[in-house]
Structures are given as structure tokens and as C-alpha cells.
């Protein structure tokens, strides 16, 4: 680092075991939904345990621009008051957040207002046609529809029957939110069910939402009662963030870490199942219900992991966890095959390519081909590399975890964007004993 340079990167230095006990930060998906549903509801919604990350704060700012009150009362405690949404005075900046962009588009589509949606460089590359096409089918009008920036005029929507393929919870949620103010049936079919937090929370706000088995998958439909009434929401801990200290503990010898209050919704727990199949010593205790969702405490200890085959059907339940699973696989014995990963190419970066290149830089044999990734480790990962994150928070956190277990340190070129999902990541990892240095 030269004299005036602001450190942007982080280096993880291999060291002793990780030990400690902490409460997982709030779930990002549920945090966005709590604010948005609050802003659509009559009356007040008090949210506790909100994740105050850059992505969620982008949603909060957008909701204020749409005319709702959305204010912080204390750490993780927010008060939201719903309103009839109005045209925002300026563009809505969704930052790095696909969830903000797609869910807000759906929610705003129900009102006769005009909105310009924008986002950062990464978000402007991500596909939006999957949400603008069905919203147009419901009657919303668009100027630009494939990628941001997109101008939308909403209002006077009708119902829709939509096959959600590939299963995207963001698309499903956008259409359900638009459907709240639409005339006519709203029915979505998924072959492999995606996360159902929107459905669970809509019910808590008094809306009729039905989910039932359909042609081997699931059909989600809105009923007649579509008015939302403000309520209290308690946000469970984010399994996608808990994944980093859990995998770090598994792969770093001498570790014993407890992460509390982690969401255990089966549509989010694919990583846990996979790690257990790999031989991970993970115990789940204190299972309980929190805000309509199952949560529990995870204890993870250093483990001898074995390579496994991860079936394509599991992808929706662990879609954000493949980067850190790839790290676990790099520290295992034997080959791991992951299939059905096409959607990883459309995340904050092309994660399939980013993982394969980063692993190769760290001396681990990894091949991304089509929709799959094969990882063939040969002993403890050499490390000793600098990894390009391409501005992707989960790639950054994953390679920092790898650095803790490698033979030599691993540096990531950027760490600032970790704050989009897990602002306390570095502090939490250091509190467990990890050595992370600014570079």
C-alpha cells in the first residue's frame, strides 16, 4: 500500500483454529421483503433484526422515494409506514442488488406511477427480461427491458399465469407483489421450488397465498384477499452469511465455532445438507420458530471433508452458496462435481468462471464446463495468490475463507463490496481469531 492509498483489498493469513460464538446477521432476502411489504401495507410495520447492509439500505431509500416512511429506530429496528406509492422525483438506485431491482419493480408496477430504475455496473449487466417480460404481460409498460436502466409505467394490471423457469424467487416475488394490485388470478408454477419467504411473509401481513404441489413442482397463487396490514417482523439470521464462518471452521484445523439464530428454511439449507454429506461435523440445536420461519444454532468443528456429487435439483436451495462450497471442496479429499449451475453466471459476477479462475490461481484444479464445476484437490490448497473478485462480495468472502486454510496467504483485490451483504464480516472473522490484513 502506498502512502495515500485507501486499502481496498484484504489478505487472509493461515493461522490457528477459529473459536467463538456469535449471532448471525439478519437474512438479506427477508430484510428486503420486510421493508417492501411494510411499505405496501396499511398501518405500521416494526422490523427487528433487519440486516443493515448496503443492498437493504438501497431498498429503504427507494421506499422513501416512493412515499413510504421507512426509518431506523435503533440497531436493526426499523419502522415502516405504508402509503399509496407516488412517482419518485429521481431515478431509483438499486446499487448492487438484484433483489432490490426486481422486487421493487414488481411492487411499483401495481401503481399508476412512472419510475426509472438504475444500478451499479454489475447490476446493469444482469438480466431483467425475466421480470420485465411477465410484468409487461400483466400490463406494465417499459422503456428498455433487458438491462438497467429501465423506465417503467405501472397501474391497471391484470392477472397472469407464469412458468417461472429457471426458478427465480426474485421473479416470483416481483409477480406476487405486482399481483397484489392486479385484477384477476395470479398463478406461478415452478418445477423446482425457489425460496418462499415472500409467500410466508405475505400470509403474516394478512394476504391469501396458496402453495400446492403441481406437476412434480409447485404452484403458487394469490387468493381474493390481497390487502396487507402492517405487522411485526422478526428477521432470522442469514444462512448465506453464516456459511462463511461455518465453512471456515470446517476447513481450518483446531476450530470450533457456534453461529446462532440461523434460518433453516429447507429451501435455503442445501449447503448444510451438502456439507453434512461431505462429512462435516455440524450440529444443529435449539430449533425454534421465528417470524414464521424455522431457525436454529449451528456448531461447526474442523472436519475431514470428502468430495461429493451435488445434484442439479439442489441448486435453488443453495444458489448463493456455491462459491463457499467450492472452497470446502478445495479443502476436501476427492473430487466434487456440481451440476446445474447456469444461474451462477447471472449473479453479481459470473461466479462459475470466477470460482474456477480463483481456485486455479490458488493452485487447486478446477474446471468450469457448461453448467458444471469439477474441483479436484490434491492436498492442502497452496494459496499464495491474489484473486480477482470482479466486485462480487461472495467471491471475496469465499477466497478469504480459503486463505485461512491454505498453505500461504490469499489476497482479494476488493473487499469494500462485502458490505452489500455482510458489513460485519471482517470484524466477526477476526473475533473468531482469523488474521485478515488490509492491503
Q: Taking a C-beta distance cutoff of 8 angstroms, is the pair 175, 188 a contact?
A: yes
For residue 1, the 8-state DSSP code is -
Q: How far is the CB of 117 from ligand S3P (least distance, A)?
A: 16
Q: How deeply is 194 buried, as exposed, middle or buried, from its count of CB atoms within 10 A (0-12, 13-18, 19+)? A: buried
Is the Cβ of residue 128 or residue 432 nearer to ligand S3P in the bound state? Answer: 128
Is the Cβ of residue 81 or residue 351 nearer to ligand S3P in the bound state? Answer: 351
Q: Which stretch binds ligand S3P (CB under 6 A): 166-174, 185-193, 222-230, 330-338?
A: 166-174
Q: Which stretch binds ligand S3P (CB under 6 A): 7-15, 40-48, 115-123, 165-173?
A: 165-173
Give the per-residue SS3 of 40-59: HCECEEEEECCCCCHHHHHH
For residue 196, the 8-state DSSP code is -
Is the Cβ of residue 302 or residue 421 nearer to ligand S3P in the bound state? Answer: 421
Indicate which single residue of 45, 53, 173, 269 sits in contact with ligand S3P (rule: CB under 6 A): 173
Where do the DSSP E strands lie in 140-292? 141-143, 150-153, 158-163, 183-190, 209-214, 217-222, 232-234, 256-263, 281-290
- Establish whether the linkage from the previous residue to 183 is cis, with ω within 30° of 0: no
Q: Which stretch binds ligand S3P (CB under 6 A): 167-175, 206-214, 291-299, 358-366?
A: 167-175
Q: How many whole angstroms separate alpha carbon 193 and alpha carbon 172? A: 10
Asked if residue 132 binds ligand S3P (CB under 6 A), the reply is no
Q: Taking a C-beta distance cutoff of 8 angstroms, is the pair 276, 262 a contact?
A: no
Q: How far is the CB of 421 from ligand S3P (least distance, A)?
A: 8
Q: How many whole angstroms separate alpha carbon 338 and alpha carbon 270? A: 12
Q: How far is the CB of 99 from ligand S3P (least distance, A)?
A: 4
Query: Which residues neighbour 53 within 8 Å (Cβ) at sequence distance 6 or greater?
Result: 25, 28, 31, 419, 420, 421, 422, 423
Q: What is the CA radius of gyration of the chain?
A: 21
Q: How far is the CB of 272 from ligand S3P (least distance, A)?
A: 17
Q: Which stretch binds ligand S3P (CB under 6 A): 169-177, 247-255, 383-391, 407-415?
A: 169-177
Is the Cβ of residue 20 or residue 106 nearer to ligand S3P in the bound state? Answer: 106
- Establish whether the linkage from the previous residue to 369 is cis, with ω within 30° of 0: no
Total number of residues binding ligand S3P (CB under 6 A)?
Answer: 10
Of residues 299 through 338, those in contact with ligand S3P by CB under 6 A are 319-320
Query: Which residues neighbour 155 within 8 Å (Cβ) at sequence distance 6 or greater?
Result: 110, 111, 112, 113, 139
Asked if residue 169 binds ligand S3P (CB under 6 A), the reply is yes
DSSP helix/strand/coil, 417: helix
Q: How deeply is 90 buried, as exposed, middle or buried, from its count of CB atoms within 10 A (0-12, 13-18, 19+)? A: exposed
Of residues 198 through 257, those in contact with ligand S3P by CB under 6 A are none
Is the Cβ of residue 173 or residue 411 nearer to ligand S3P in the bound state? Answer: 173
Q: How far is the CB of 239 from ligand S3P (least distance, A)?
A: 12
Indicate which single residue of 115, 170, 349, 411 sits in contact with ligand S3P (rule: CB under 6 A): 170
Asked if residue 175 binds ligand S3P (CB under 6 A), the reply is no
| 21 annotated active-site | no
Is the Cβ of residue 34 or residue 280 nearer to ligand S3P in the bound state? Answer: 34
Q: How far is the CB of 436 from ligand S3P (least distance, A)?
A: 24
Q: How far is CA 192 from the centre of its chain?
A: 18
Asked if residue 168 binds ligand S3P (CB under 6 A), the reply is yes
290 grid coordinates: 421465528
Of residues 22 through 51, those in contact with ligand S3P by CB under 6 A are 29
Of residues 343 through 382, those in contact with ligand S3P by CB under 6 A are 343
Asked if residue 54 binds ligand S3P (CB under 6 A), the reply is no
Catalytic option among 27, 55, 196, 320: 320
Asked if residue 398 binds ligand S3P (CB under 6 A), the reply is no
Length reported for the chain = 439
Is the Cβ of residue 69 or residue 312 nearer to ligand S3P in the bound state? Answer: 312
Residues in contact with ligand S3P by CB under 6 A are 29, 99, 168-170, 173, 195, 319-320, 343
Active-site annotation, residues? 320
Amino acid at each position: 500500500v502506498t502512502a495515500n492509498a485507501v486499502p481496498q483489498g484484504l489478505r487472509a493469513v493461515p493461522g490457528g483454529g477459529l473459536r467463538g460464538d456469535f449471532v448471525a446477521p439478519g437474512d438479506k432476502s427477508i430484510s428486503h421483503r420486510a421493508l417492501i411489504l411494510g411499505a405496501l401495507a396499511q398501518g405500521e410495520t416494526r422490523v427487528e433484526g433487519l440486516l443493515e447492509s448496503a443492498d437493504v439500505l438501497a431498498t429503504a431509500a427507494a421506499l422513501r422515494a416512493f412515499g413510504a416512511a421507512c426509518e431506523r429506530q435503533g440497531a436493526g429496528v426499523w419502522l415502516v409506514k405504508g402509503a399509496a406509492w407516488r412517482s419518485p422525483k429521481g431515478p431509483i438506485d438499486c446499487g448492487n442488488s438484484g433483489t432490490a431491482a426486481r422486487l421493487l419493480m414488481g411492487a411499483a408496477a401495481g401503481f399508476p406511477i412512472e419510475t426509472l430504475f438504475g444500478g451499479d455496473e454489475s447490476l446493469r449487466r444482469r438480466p431483467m427480461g425475466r421480470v420485465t417480460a411477465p410484468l409487461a404481460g400483466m400490463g406494465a409498460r417499459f422503456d428498455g427491458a433487458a438491462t438497467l436502466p429501465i423506465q417503467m409505467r405501472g397501474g391497471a394490471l391484470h392477472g397472469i399465469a407464469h412458468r417461472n423457469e429457471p426458478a427465480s424467487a426474485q421473479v416470483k416475488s416481483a409477480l406476487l407483489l405486482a399481483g397484489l394490485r392486479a385484477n384477476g388470478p395470479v398463478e406461478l408454477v415452478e418445477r423446482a421450488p425457489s425460496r418462499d419467504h415472500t409467500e410466508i411473509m405475505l400470509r403474516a401481513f394478512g394476504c391469501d397465498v396458496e402453495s400446492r404441489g403441481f406437476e412434480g413442482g409447485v404452484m403458487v397463487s394469490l387468493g381474493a384477499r390481497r390487502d396487507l396490514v402492517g405487522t411485526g417482523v422478526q428477521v432470522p439470521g442469514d444462512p448465506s452469511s453464516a456459511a462463511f464462518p461455518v465453512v471456515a471452521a470446517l476447513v481450518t484445523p483446531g476450530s470450533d465455532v457456534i453461529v446462532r439464530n440461523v434460518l433453516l428454511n429447507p429451501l435455503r439449507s442445501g449447503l448444510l445438507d451438502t456439507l453434512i454429506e461431505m462429512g462435516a461435523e455440524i450440529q444443529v440445536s435449539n430449533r425454534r420458530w421465528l417470524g414464521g420461519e424455522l431457525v436454529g444454532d449451528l456448531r461447526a468443528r474442523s472436519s475431514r471433508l470428502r468430495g461429493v456429487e451435488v445434484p442439479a435439483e439442489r441448486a435453488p436451495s443453495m444458489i448463493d452458496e456455491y462459491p463457499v462450497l467450492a472452497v470446502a471442496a478445495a479443502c476436501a479429499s476427492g473430487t466434487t462435481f456440481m451440476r446445474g449451475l447456469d444461474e451462477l453466471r447471472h449473479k453479481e459476477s459470473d461466479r462459475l468462471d470466477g470460482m474456477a479462475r480463483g481456485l486455479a490461481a490458488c493452485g487447486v484444479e478446477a474446471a468450469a464446463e457448461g453448467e458444471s464445476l469439477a474441483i479436484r484437490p490434491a492436498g492442502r490448497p497452496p494459496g499464495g495468490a491474489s484473486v480477482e473478485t470482479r466486485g462480487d462480495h461472495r467471491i471475496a468472502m469465499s477466497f478469504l475463507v480459503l486463505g485461512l486454510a491454505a498453505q500461504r496467504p490469499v489476497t482479494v483485490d476488493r473487499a469494500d463490496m462485502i458490505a452489500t451483504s455482510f458489513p460485519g464480516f471482517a470484524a466477526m472473522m477476526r473475533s473468531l481469531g482469523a488474521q485478515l490484513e488490509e492491503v
